[in-house]
Amino acid sequence: MIRLGPAGNVEKDTINSLLKIKSLGLNAQEIEFVRQVYMKNDLAKQVGKKAKELDISLSIHAPYFINLASEEKEKVQASKKRILDSCERGHYLNATCVVFHPAYFGKRSKEETYGLVKNEILDIMDTIKKNSWNIKIAPETTGKHSAFGSLDETIRLARETGCYLCIDPAHIYARNNGSIDFKEMLDKLKPLNLKPLHFHFSAIKYSIKGEVSHLTLAEGGPKFEPLASELLKRKIDCTIISESPITWQDSLNMKKMLDNLSSHK
């Protein structure tokens, strides 16, 4: 099954957003904690219950202010707290995962950064286990060359720690100067045997440094149809969250493309 939905609310509050998403024929939403973890546990329980009633899969995007490889220990601890606070809410939301951008290289080598991120990921997973939270953490592939999170780095992290992951083809496309091979990407992900896979999708503007800004599907690449075709051919279960500037509209555009491809199989 392929689930589709927007990043963030499409109405002023989350409950009404879920009702709107259901009415549109979509079945996923990513709760955006990008500036702060604003939701209390009681509300998270209510939202999780309503999402289950409506058969809408929830995920979370943790705050952007995260760097697990910072040279300042207090920033690392603050980063972990933001992730763990998101995980606590995710548990009560019955969310599948907490997505986050793991780190920046700064003055460190790629291998040193990887080691630091790996250790912090393992520590976060240990805390999740101790609290008996039913939630997975999902480091995301990132779009800037200064950020930790190439596809290979993210896959290695998942393989060596057992964490989940989030694949953003737009970020991979930006890192590769406007190029992405969906077949190769899915072949690399296959040995992890993650079900369902979790994607973000949009078009993207990029520069020599990588990601600049997200675009609508009509404004650029990567194109969605080649990915959709591969997902259908391989019968891959996944959730695809639209990070387009027109989130739910592009979710519906992706749904139309998927439905059209399915009808011509």
Mean pLDDT computed over 64-92? 97
60 burial class (0-12, 13-18, 19+ CB within 10 angstroms)?
buried
d(CA 14, CA 1): 24
For residue 99, which of 67, 137, 126 has the smallest C-alpha distance?
Answer: 137
Mean pLDDT computed over 162-173? 98
Which residue range forms the structural domain that includes residue 206? 2-263
Tell me: pLDDT of 265 over 70.
Answer: no
Residue 25 · residue 52 · CB < 8 Å: no
Tell me: pLDDT of 197 over 90.
Answer: yes
For residue 37, which of 13, 19, 15, 64 has the smallest C-alpha distance?
Answer: 64
Q: Give me the percent of the chain exceeding a pLDDT of 70.
A: 100
Which phi and psi (to 5°) does residue 33 adopt?
-100, 35
- What tokens does 239 get? 């959730």
**What is the total count of domains within the chain?**
1
Helix (H/G/I), strand (E/B), else coil: 67: coil
d(CA 198, CA 178): 22
Average pLDDT taken over every residue of the chain: 96
Residue 22 · residue 53 · CB < 8 Å: no
What local confidence, expressed as pLDDT, does residue 106 receive? 94
Q: Cβ atoms within 10 A of the Cβ of 117, count?
A: 22
Helices within the chain (DSSP H only): 14-23, 41-54, 73-93, 110-130, 151-161, 169-175, 182-189, 224-234, 247-263
- What tokens does 102 get? 């793991």
Q: Residue 236 is part of a domain; what is its CATH number?
A: 3.20.20.150
